[in-house]
Amino acid sequence: MEKFTTHTGLVVPLDAANVDTDQIIPKQFLQKTERVGFGQHLFHDWRYLDDEGHQANPEFILNYPQYQGASILLARENFGCGSSREHAPWAIQEYGFKVVIAPSFADIFYGNCINIGIVPVRLPEEQINQLFDTARDAGLTLTVDLINNTITNGELTFSFELDNFHQYCLEQGIDSVGWTLNKLDKIQSYEDKLPAWQ
Burial classification of residue 20, based on how many CB atoms lie within 10 Å of its CB (0-12 exposed, 13-18 middle, 19 or more buried)? middle
pLDDT of amino acid 147: 94
Task: State the residue range of the domain holding 96.
Answer: 6-173
Examine residue 196 and state whether it is found in any structural domain, yes or no: no
Residue 178 has pLDDT above 60, yes or no: no
- Please report whether residue 186 resides in a domain: no
For the cut 70, the answer to whether the pLDDT of residue 52 exceeds it is yes
CA pair distance 161, 159, nearest whole angstrom: 7
- Output the pLDDT for position 16: 97
The pLDDT-based confidence of 191 (bands split at 50, 70, 90) is low
Looking at the domain assignment, is residue 178 inside a domain? no
Task: Report yes or no on 21 lying in a domain.
Answer: yes
Is 192 within a domain? no
pTM (two decimals) = 0.89
Cβ count near 96 (within 10 Å): 16
Per-residue pLDDT at 44 exceeds 70:
yes
User: Who's near 35: CB < 8 A, 6+ residues apart?
Assistant: 90, 94, 116
- Identify whether 114 is part of a domain: yes
- Whether 180 is in a domain gets the answer no
pLDDT of residue 29: 86
The answer for residues whose C-beta is within 8 angstroms of residue 180's C-beta and 6 or more apart is 187
CATH number at residue 134: 3.20.19.10
Domain total of the chain = 1
Residue 97 lies in a domain: yes
Rounded to an integer, what distance in angstroms lies between the CA atom of residue 85 and that of residue 20?
Answer: 10
